[in-house]
Structure 1
Amino acid sequence: MYLTQPLHRALQQFPDRPMTICGDRVRTTREVVDRVARLAASLVGLGVRDGDRVGILARNSDRYHEFFFASWWMGAAAHPVNIRWSPAEIGYALDDSLTEVLLVDDAFAHLAPDLKERCPGLHTLIHCGDGPTPQGMLGYEELVAGFDPVPDIRQGDDEPALLLYTGGTTALPKGVATSHRRLLTSMHGSMLVSRAVEPGSVTLLTAPLFHIAAFCSWHNQNVVGGTQVFLPAFSAEGFLDAVQRHRVTSCILVPAMVQAICEHPQRERYDVSSLRTVTYGGAGSPESLLHRAMKAFPRAGFTQGYGMTETGVLTVLGREEHREGGTRLRSAGRATAGVEIAVVGPAGRPLPAGEVGEVVTRGGHVMLGYWRKPELTHEALKDGWFHTGDAGYLDEDGYLYLVDRLKDMIITGGENVYSAEVENAVASHPAVATCAVIGVPDPQWGERVHAVVVLRPGHTPTADGIRAHTKSLVAGYKAPRSVEFVETLPMSAAGKVLKRLLRDGRTETSDD
């Protein structure tokens, strides 16, 4: 099993079909394969060897697409870097991974001198943007044009293919190393269940490709064949325009994107009838927002995916469950093909249906391990099970319901409160755009439930009104005892609220 196989299949079956669209650039399969083979040759010429890491610090583009395939074509592991990190975090990941060659686009070229200083082993920077090549960098297009194509070595199976660093929201980032076989095992299993992409369809890439969810969406389309449309950065208008212009059939969105699209004042002017599948994930999505999205895209089927960088996709809630509605919409779905999940107690024993514990998983989809961190790998992988750190429960039919990150559980007056349940209740208030619920120190209760709320434009509810609404939906002890109104919530690149910043009293957007 090797990740370049879809290129060879596509070249054989539909060589002249558009494979990538980025702005005004449209390239066929034949053109892309030729460019990949030439870029791979240039990497070899720059001293990259089998098993080395090749990094990229860039926004989504057709060159990102070529970077992935060229890295695998010549036997390297791809290392996509989080573009929302600070220079210190980026430098740490490059240094820790021993990355010697880095592709950088226009948006991040200004960081080059700093990164070179922080990372003594980083000897080559390749400019993959559209502007003039900065001094001290090599030009991407010049490299592609200057080398003859080399054959694909077709390296795969258990060889490392991808190195993704976790968000670093609680400690130093950890590099998650995974192989060709493990990535394909995960993606094939999820595709079998979700049916999110079809041969010849058009996928729109809006979420950043350094994130595992966007990566899986991208490569799933490669596997079945079709066209990839790249947006360098998300905006609601850019998304709607791309769907209309390119007749997009599938996409993946995080809840913050869904909200922005639903609230765009000109949304109904755009023709989105081509959209057949909307996959959402990356953070809990309130039911109220999901219902708005389903009305905004009435011809699209909705699927939800739950997983982690370390595991790929674990569960899928499919189209049928979304059509049926009801309590299933609160679940994360059921295990995908080839994935085993369980919910265990503190002693590691499986719990009965309906009882909350830690979600664990095992199978051929789990990472190789944390890069150069054997102790952390051993801690996460116990008796063959990967421990996710997520709290949840399984129902009688195997549907997984997530209730919180274990570390985010609030204990108030001796009662366990799961923030996700409270957030869902608060978010159903008509004035609430989005919210986060955290525990803050309280002299009487140990912790009190605290809601941080972003309001919809034109609404001015009181804290008491929010509390009263929440109490009508959940037990009184779960309702927030205090409410804070803010302009924005600090978000990670994966669309998750950074609750540690909220606990520290910070609500500004973070670079984590």
Structure 2
Amino acid sequence: MYLTQFLHRVVQQYPDRPLTICGDRIRTGRQVADRVARLAGAFQGIGVEAGDRVGILALNSDRYHEWFYASWWTGAIAHPVNTRWSPAEMAYALNDSGTGVLLVDDAFAPLAAELRERAPGVHTLVYCGDGTAPDGMLDYEQLVTGFEPVPDVRRGGDTVGLLLYTGGTTGTPKGVMLTHRGLLTGMMSSALYSSSARPGGVSLVTAPLFHFGAVAGWQAQNLVGGTLVFLPTFTPDGVLRAVRDHGVTSVTLVPVMVQMVCNHPDFASYDLSGVDRVIYGGAGSPESLLRQAMKAFPNARFTQGFGQTESGVLTALTHEEHVAGGELIRSGGRTTPAVEIAVVDPEDRPLPVGEVGEIVTRGDHVMAGYWGKPELTAETMRGGWLHTGDGGYLDENGYLFVVDRLKDMIITGGENVYSAEVENALSAHPSVASCAVIGVPDEHWGERVHAVIVLRPGTTATAEELRAHTKTLIAGYKAPRTVEFVDEMPLSPVGKILKRELRDARKG
């Protein structure tokens, strides 16, 4: 199995059907395949070899789609860079992965010089925006038109095809290696179980493509054939207009996006009856919001997916289960056909039905490991099971209920924030003696990043000062939205901060 199979199938079966729509650009499957083969030729021409990492730092677009396929066409590893990170975090991922070629668009071309200085291994920059290529960069369109198409190397199976960096509980990001076989197994398993896209449908790609959830939604439509509509970023206006203008049939959103679309002041003036699938994930969603969304998209089948970058989609809650309501609406659903999960205690012993423990999984869908981190890989994959770090329990019918994130991850507006990253940044401020970062309930974001701070004696600091400080070290969305100052932390007998006590005291 290899990831370019989707594109070959499109050319064989639907060559003249629109495949990508981005603004005013509409390209057929035949046109996209030709451009991909030419871009792959360009990559080879600038020295990209099988196994090399080719990065992109850009907003969603049809060129992002072509970059994915051209990377795989040459046998390279696609490395999407998180656009919401700080330059220091971006450079860390580029250096850690050894990425040599990086594509940048108009939004991130101004960062190119800084990134090149911070990541000297990036030897070639390719401008994939809509204007004139800046000095020192190759022009994407000139590469596509200037090189002859090359054959697809069809490098698949257990070779790594995608490198996605995710936040680290130790304070630095880690690269998740996903193979062709693993990605295809997970995607086909999920699509078979949840029918997340229909053949010939039109899928809206609005979540950022450096996220696994967005990649899964994008590939679901590729898997069965259809059209992809790209929005550079999410806005409620953009989603509503795209549905109206392009006949969108499938959307993949996180709950905060669903809420913003449903609460848009002009919502009632748009006809959403043509949307027949809504896939959401990334955070828990209140039942009241789901009921509102199901009214807003009256003909849509709703599917919730639960998983993580390292494993892909593990469980899904189908539309029928949404309609049934009751307790099931609070679950993550049941495993897709190719996935096996269990719930274990700290000694990795299986727990009985209803008991909370760590969720583990095994199968072809799981990652190959963490890039350059064999010890962390071995620990995470011990006993042949991927340890997710998420806590939950299974009921008597195999429904998974997620109750906590054992690694203290916070999900705010669909973005994963690891508390250790924020704590490392806060601790670098000279006035901070100790700190703890937790997620607290938030009506708009689902959770917000909240910092509890103990200041050093004789020093002062304001909440805004600490927020500004963290933004110099990590991405702005990771900075605490609220800051609380306390005299002391609740500690365990061994001196560990008891975050559960902090969370419980702030649930209201």
8 Å contact from structure 1 (residues 276, 299) kept in 2: yes
Q: How does 1:213-224 map to 2 (within 5 A)?
A: 213-224=213-224
Question: How much has 1:283 moved relative to structure 2?
Answer: 1.2
Specify the alignment match of 2:319 in structure 1: 319
The 1:242/1:92 distance shift into structure 2, 3 A limit, reads: same
Specify the alignment match of 1:345 in structure 2: 345
Specify the alignment match of 2:464 in structure 1: none
The 1:120/1:157 distance shift into structure 2, 3 A limit, reads: same
Specify the alignment match of 1:472 in structure 2: none
What is the rounded CA distance, in whole Å, between the counterparts of 1:442 and 1:127 in structure 2?
A: 43
The 1:236/1:502 distance shift into structure 2, 3 A limit, reads: closer
Is 1:234 the equivalent of 2:234? yes
Question: How much has 1:114 moved relative to structure 2?
Answer: 0.3
Is 1:298 the equivalent of 2:277? no
Specify the alignment match of 2:458 in structure 1: none
Q: How does 1:486-497 map to 2 (within 5 A)?
A: none
What is the rounded CA distance, in whole Å, between the counterparts of 1:70 and 1:346 in structure 2?
A: 43
What is the rounded CA distance, in whole Å, between the counterparts of 1:387 and 1:329 in structure 2?
A: 25
Q: TM-score, normalised by structure 2?
A: 0.83
Question: How much has 1:244 moved relative to structure 2?
Answer: 0.9
Counterpart code for 1:151: P
What is the rounded CA distance, in whole Å, between the counterparts of 1:109 and 1:358 in structure 2?
A: 42
Q: How does 1:81-480 map to 2 (within 5 A)?
A: 81-168=81-168, 171-408=171-408, 423=441, 432-436=443-447
Q: Deviations over 1:134-189 (max 9, x none)?
A: 11101000000000000111110011100000034761000001110010011011
4+ runs deviating over 2 angstroms: 167-170, 407-410, 432-443, 500-506
8 Å contact from structure 2 (residues 277, 302) kept in 1: yes
Q: What SS class does the counterpart of residue 383 from structure 1 fall into?
A: helix
Aligned residues: 439
Question: How much has 1:202 moved relative to structure 2?
Answer: 0.4
8 Å contact from structure 2 (residues 75, 155) kept in 1: yes
What is the rounded CA distance, in whole Å, between the counterparts of 1:80 and 1:290 in structure 2?
A: 31
Specify the alignment match of 1:415 in structure 2: none
What is the rounded CA distance, in whole Å, between the counterparts of 2:444 and 2:309 in structure 1?
A: 28
Is 1:44 the equivalent of 2:58? no
Specify the alignment match of 1:501 in structure 2: 480
Q: What SS class does the counterpart of residue 164 from structure 2 fall into?
A: strand
Specify the alignment match of 2:3 in structure 1: 3
Specify the alignment match of 1:452 in structure 2: none
Specify the alignment match of 1:55 in structure 2: 55
Q: Deviations over 1:202-238 (max 9, x none)?
A: 0000100110011011111111100000000110011
What is the rounded CA distance, in whole Å, between the counterparts of 2:400 and 2:17 in structure 1?
A: 39
What is the rounded CA distance, in whole Å, between the counterparts of 2:165 and 2:123 in structure 1?
A: 21
The 1:77/1:266 distance shift into structure 2, 3 A limit, reads: same
The 1:271/1:439 distance shift into structure 2, 3 A limit, reads: closer
8 Å contact from structure 2 (residues 452, 484) kept in 1: no
Q: Deviations over 1:109-151 (max 9, x none)?
A: 0000001101111110000010111111010000000000001
Deviates more, 1:289-298 or 1:218-227: 289-298
Q: What SS class does the counterpart of residue 107 from structure 1 fall into?
A: coil
8 Å contact from structure 1 (residues 278, 301) kept in 2: yes
Q: What SS class does the counterpart of residue 108 from structure 2 fall into?
A: helix
What is the rounded CA distance, in whole Å, between the counterparts of 1:386 and 1:277 in structure 2?
A: 30
8 Å contact from structure 2 (residues 448, 480) kept in 1: no
8 Å contact from structure 1 (residues 408, 438) kept in 2: no
Counterpart code for 2:301: G
The 1:154/1:408 distance shift into structure 2, 3 A limit, reads: closer
Q: What SS class does the counterpart of residue 130 from structure 1 fall into?
A: coil
Superposition CA RMSD, Å? 2.4
What is the rounded CA distance, in whole Å, between the counterparts of 2:320 and 2:164 in structure 1?
A: 32
Q: TM-score, normalised by structure 1?
A: 0.82
Question: How much has 1:501 moved relative to structure 2?
Answer: 3.3
8 Å contact from structure 2 (residues 453, 484) kept in 1: no
